[in-house]
Every structure is written in structure tokens, then in C-alpha cells.
């Protein structure tokens, strides 16, 4: 079960990483009017939807909870009220159905969605984890040893996409909107900075500010000009990510790389990562439906965590600021 932000999701996954059902109820349209996720509204909508989403996910099993081995749920990171809804509901189900429970790191779920895409994937590998709240490079040495190589020092790349989208007058969520507009633009028209920092770190605040000043000084805001701005921003952001990913692959000597998180749905990022790492590392990228928040990825992470840690004891605590992968 997944409820860390603005998607209420439930899925059934087996230990071969086969997804038997996956249901996602998105709240994007409800938050669009506010230009971003409103935590109180998100938590209330989780409360309204979670029972129906879980019931729908159990349809292939005719609601027979006895056919399951356990319940996994996101315990962090995320919005505190949203996490509390999911964990409380999961714990109630676990008690009523007599099933053990397992708390999962949401970001590890994003990484291990790659196991659903490619069940043969085994560590070690490098993963670029990109979302609205995270831009991380990790060295996934083993299921019990994950090293954070570098992270953003300010805005995550997904947050930068959302903010630039607002500057361009595009709707929320900003990432898909910029992706669509950029397809019609000239990415070489405007030269924007590539904020590559030492130590595999990222910083997107300067790139965001450069777009702000570019728009301020534009002589016109014709549709083609705005498309060119979107394309130029997308190229700068994606090149920055791929430069650091390539450097991390070379640093670790890994022959496998993974893209994970909602921003991994970006078409240019998917293409450029494969192009830059061709002959260096094999790249695994989950299907777009597995990049955005879903519960199938939580099931995949739960399978791996159970193999190393077993189930958790009740009661299960939430951790909105959870950072440690694994």
C-alpha cells in the first residue's frame, strides 16, 4: 500500500516480482488548482479512497486475504498525514486478517520498481533517483548495503520542473507539461547553465533562477518562444542529471544503472541516459506507470526487505523524513 503523497495505491506482488494487480487513484486534478500538493487535502482524500482502492486490488483474489503472506506499506519519507492514513489502515488490516506487516522506504520502492521491469536485475548497480522531493545518486552494492553518493543541495529536479512550469503558465504537475511543450521547441535556442557540482551533488536553484531571468528579459512570449524556453530548460536539466550519472557509473565501476522516480518518465532523460551509457553500462528504466508513485514498487521493495530483515513488529511507526535507503 502506498499513500506518501497524492496517490492512493494498492497492489498485489509475488516473490518473482510479478504484479497481479495494481490500482492507483491519483489526486492530481484536485491539487492542480493550487499549483501543488496541499497536505491536508491529500490526507483527507486518502481517507476517502483507501478502502475502495485496496478492495479493488484484491479483486483477482476475490477478497481472500488468507491467500496473502503479509501486508507492506510505505512508512516514509512523505507527508506526515498521508503516511499516517496508509500505515494506520495497513495495521488495522494486518490485525483483522492475522497477517504480519512490513514498513517500506518509498524511495527504495522507486529503485526496486526496476526489479519488476527486469526481475533478473541484481546488485551492484548505480541508481539515479529523481522525483519532486529527491535527486539522489546511490550505489546499490547489495540488498543490505546502499551508499548515498550524492544528492541535491536545494531544489530536487522534479521541484524545479514544477516551478519552471508555473513560470511558463503551465498546469500542475509541471514535469509532464514541460515535456509535452518541449517537444515542439528548439532546445539549442537558449543557453542555460548545467549545474554540475563535485561529489555527485546537484543544485537546481541556479538553473531555475536563470529561467526566471530569461523570461523576464524576453522581447516576446509567443507560443514558439515559450516552447523553446521549455526545451532549453529540459535539455539543461537532463544533461546535468546524465553527466553526474555517467560519472557515478565510471567511479563505481558498475556495469548496470537504474533510473527511478517520477522524473524518470521524462522522455528525453530516458533516451539520453541510454545514449550516454551505451557501451559503459546496461540501463534499466521502469515503464512510466512504475516510475510515478504506485504500490507495485512498494511490493517489490517489500519482497527484497523481507528477504534480509523479515517482517516488522506492530505497531509500525511512520518516518516522514526517512532518508536511509534499504
Confidence band (pLDDT; 50, 70, 90) for 314? confident
Within a 10 A sphere around the Cβ of 319, how many other Cβ atoms?
17
Q: pLDDT value at position 132?
A: 86
What's the whole-number average pLDDT of the chain? 96
Question: Which domain, by its residues, includes 83?
Answer: 7-110+291-309
* Cβ partners under 8 Å of residue 285, min gap 6: 114, 117, 258, 259, 264, 270, 273, 274, 291
Domain presence at residue 326:
no
Contact present, 135 and 157 (Cβ < 8 Å): yes
Q: Does residue 86 sit in the same domain as residue 193? A: no
Domain presence at residue 75:
yes
Query: pTM of the entire structure?
Result: 0.95
Count: domains in the chain? 2
Q: Whose CA is closest to 23, among 321, 308, 289?
A: 289
Domain presence at residue 29:
yes
Domain presence at residue 323:
no
Residue with C-alpha cell 516576446?
220
Q: pLDDT value at position 148?
A: 96
CATH number of residue 198's parent domain: 3.30.420.40
Contact present, 4 and 74 (Cβ < 8 Å): yes
Domain presence at residue 115:
no
Q: Give the percent of the chain with pLDDT over 90.
A: 94
Q: Does residue 152 sit in the same domain as residue 283? A: yes
Q: Does residue 278 sit in the same domain as residue 239? A: yes
Q: Does residue 266 sit in the same domain as residue 299? A: no
Helices 80-97 and 39-57: crossing angle in degrees, nearest 10, is: 30
Domain presence at residue 155:
yes
Prior bond of 128 cis (ω within 30°):
no
Distance between start and end Cα atoms, the chain: 17
Contact present, 165 and 159 (Cβ < 8 Å): no
Q: What's phi and psi for 163, nearest 5 deg?
A: -70, -40
Q: Does residue 130 sit in the same domain as residue 16? A: no
Q: Does residue 281 sit in the same domain as residue 151? A: yes
Domain presence at residue 316:
no
- The rounded distance, in Å, linking the Cα atoms of 16 and 26 is 27
Structure confidence by residue, pLDDT tens digits, 32-85: 989 899 999 999 999 999 999 999 999 999 999 999 999 999 999 999 999 999
Domain presence at residue 74:
yes
Q: Does residue 274 sit in the same domain as residue 149? A: yes
Q: pLDDT value at position 261?
A: 97
Distances 15 to 112, 303, 322 between C-alpha atoms, Å = 13, 6, 25
Structure confidence by residue, pLDDT tens digits, 109-138: 999 999 999 999 999 999 999 998 899 999
Q: Is the pLDDT of residue 225 over 90?
A: yes
Check residue 295 and report its DSSP letter.
S
Q: Does residue 28 sit in the same domain as residue 69? A: yes
Cell digits of residue 69: 503472506
Amino acid at each position: 500500500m502506498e499513500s506518501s503523497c497524492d496517490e492512493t495505491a494498492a497492489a498485489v506482488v509475488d516473490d518473482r516480482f510479478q504484479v497481479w494487480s495494481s490500482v492507483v487513484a491519483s489526486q492530481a486534478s484536485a491539487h492542480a488548482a493550487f499549483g501543488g500538493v496541499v497536505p491536508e487535502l491529500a490526507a483527507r482524500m486518502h481517507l476517502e479512497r483507501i478502502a475502495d482502492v485496496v478492495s479493488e486490488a484484491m479483486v483477482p483474489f476475490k477478497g481472500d486475504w488468507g491467500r496473502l503472506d503479509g501486508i507492506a506499506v510505505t512508512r516514509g519519507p512523505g507527508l506526515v498525514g498521508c503516511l499516517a492514513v496508509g500505515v494506520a489502515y495497513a495495521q488495522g488490516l494486518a490485525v483483522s486478517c492475522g497477517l504480519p506487516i512490513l514498513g517500506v522506504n518509498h524511495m527504495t520502492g522507486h529503485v526496486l520498481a526496476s526489479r519488476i521491469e527486469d526481475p533478473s536485475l541484481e546488485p551492484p548497480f548505480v541508481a539515479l533517483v529523481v522525483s519532486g522531493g529527491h535527486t539522489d545518486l546511490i550505489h546499490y552494492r547489495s540488498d543490505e548495503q546502499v551508499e548515498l553518493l550524492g544528492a541535491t543541495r536545494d531544489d530536487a529536479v522534479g521541484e524545479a520542473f514544477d516551478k519552471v512550469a508555473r513560470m511558463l503558465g503551465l498546469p500542475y504537475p509541471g514535469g509532464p507539461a514541460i515535456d509535452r511543450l518541449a517537444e515542439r521547441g528548439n532546445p539549442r535556442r537558449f543557453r542555460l547553465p548545467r549545474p554540475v557540482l563535485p561529489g555527485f551533488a546537484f543544485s537546481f536553484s541556479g538553473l531555475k533562477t536563470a529561467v526566471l531571468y530569461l523570461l523576464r528579459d524576453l522581447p516576446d512570449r509567443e507560443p514558439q518562444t515559450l516552447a523553446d524556453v521549455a526545451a532549453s530548460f529540459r535539455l539543461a536539466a537532463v544533461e546535468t542529471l546524465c553527466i553526474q550519472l555517467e560519472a557515478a557509473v565510471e567511479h563505481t565501476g558498475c556495469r548496470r544503472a537504474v533510473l527511478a522516480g517520477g522524473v524518470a518518465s521524462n522522455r528525453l532523460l530516458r533516451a539520453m541516459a541510454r545514449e550516454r551509457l551505451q557501451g559503459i553500462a546496461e540501463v534499466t528504466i521502469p515503464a512510466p506507470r512504475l516510475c510515478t508513485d504506485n504500490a507495485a514498487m512498494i511490493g517489490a521493495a517489500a519482497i527484497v526487505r523481507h528477504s534480509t530483515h523479515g517482517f516488522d513488529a506492530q505497531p509500525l511507526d511512520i518516518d516522514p523524513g526517512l532518508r536511509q535507503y534499504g
